[in-house]
């Protein structure tokens, strides 16, 4: 199964992708997670990307293409994948198409998780992320059992530097500028399914699972 998840920041792409990848036995490719790992390790890519990320802007397409090519060179993608956070504009969609063409891959499903601005801001401004396994929590909606620590792996939880209200608004603006083109692009291939992601994570997951079985 090869799935692309589209949707605004805070729609729950990461949360859904992690569970789905495990259930389907496929790779979870989160460009945000890969970038944050690079920032943490202070790699060349991390150094170049950090400032864009902190400002809520897209990391330049050239850097992203290189990153995606490296990721798709790994053998686990042969089992299938869930792509979370890429593509974010038409140039990236075309890069992806080219990577797929070279590898003889095709997408089975594009799920567009839509969410309202108020839900997004509420979710992201209270989000906590595990520094070890990148599991997500929320200060009030989904608090960890032990304050400050991950239920799954015991890692310490932190707030992302781009989860400040001002930066969230910027990320939303950047997202809205690009998304309609992407939706059009994937609609033409008849692979796009839109779901509302404002509800409970478990409910949204059920709806995605139904789509994977069609």
Binding site for ligand ADP (CB under 6 A): 9-10, 31-32, 35, 52-53, 56-59, 64, 85-86, 88, 92, 162, 171
130 binds, among ligand ADP, Zn ion, none (CB under 5 to 8 A by kind): Zn ion
Active-site residue 101, yes or no? no
Active-site residue 123, yes or no? no
| 88 contacts 52 by C-beta, under 8 angstroms | no
Among 50, 160, 169, 170, which one carries the catalytic annotation? 160
Among 2, 71, 88, 123, which one carries the catalytic annotation? 88
For ligand ADP, the closer CB: 5 or 192: 5
Measure the CA–CA gap between 84 and 33, rounded to whole angstroms: 9
When binding is defined by CB under 5 A, the residue of 73, 90, 102, 133 that contacts Zn ion is: 133
Active-site residue 88, yes or no? yes
Residues 6+ apart with CB under 8 A from 121: 10, 165, 168, 169
Residues 6+ apart with CB under 8 A from 11: 113, 114, 115, 120, 197
- Output the smallest distance, CB 193 to ligand ADP, in A: 19
For Zn ion, the closer CB: 21 or 96: 21
When binding is defined by CB under 5 A, the residue of 135, 168, 172, 174 that contacts Zn ion is: 135
Q: Which residue is nearest to ligand ADP (CB)?
A: 32
For ligand ADP, the closer CB: 9 or 157: 9
56 binds, among Zn ion, ligand ADP, none (CB under 5 to 8 A by kind): ligand ADP
| H-state helical runs in the chain | 13-24, 31-40, 44-54, 61-72, 90-103, 117-125, 165-187, 201-212
When binding is defined by CB under 5 A, the residue of 4, 21, 96, 130 that contacts Zn ion is: 130
| 41 contacts 33 by C-beta, under 8 angstroms | no
Alpha-carbon distance values, 76 to 26, 69, 100, 109, 169 (Å):
8, 13, 15, 19, 35
Q: What is the 3-state secondary structure (H, E, C) of 162-211?
A: CCCHHHHHHHHHHHHHHHHHHHHHHHCCCCEEEEECCCCHHHHHHHHHHH
- Output the smallest distance, CB 213 to ligand ADP, in A: 26
Residues engaged in binding Zn ion (CB under 5 A): 130, 132-133, 135, 150, 152-153, 155
């Amino acid at each position: 199964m090869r799935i692309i998840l589209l949707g605004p920041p805070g729609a729950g792409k990461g949360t859904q992708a992690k569970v789905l990848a495990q259930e389907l036995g496929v790779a979870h490719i989160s460009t945000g997670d890969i970038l944050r790992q690079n920032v943490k390790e202070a790699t060349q890519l991390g150094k170049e990307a950090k400032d864009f990320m902190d400002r809520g802007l897209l990391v330049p397409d050239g850097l992203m293409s290189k990153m995606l090519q490296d990721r798709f060179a790994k053998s686990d993608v042969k089992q299938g994948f869930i792509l979370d956070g890429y593509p974010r504009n038409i140039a990236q969609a075309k890069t992806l198409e080219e990577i797929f063409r070279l590898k003889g891959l095709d997408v089975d499903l594009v799920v567009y998780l839509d969410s309202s601005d108020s839900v997004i801001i509420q979710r992201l401004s209270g989000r906590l992320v595990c520094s070890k396994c990148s599991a997500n929590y929320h200060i009030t909606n989904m608090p960890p059992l032990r304050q400050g620590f991950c239920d799954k792996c015991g890692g310490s939880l932190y707030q992302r530097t781009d989860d400040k209200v001002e930066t969230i608004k910027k990320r939303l603006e950047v997202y809205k500028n690009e998304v309609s083109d992407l939706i059009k692009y994937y609609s033409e291939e008849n692979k796009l399914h839109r779901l509302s992601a404002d509800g409970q994570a478990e409910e949204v997951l059920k709806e995605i699972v139904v789509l994977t079985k069609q």
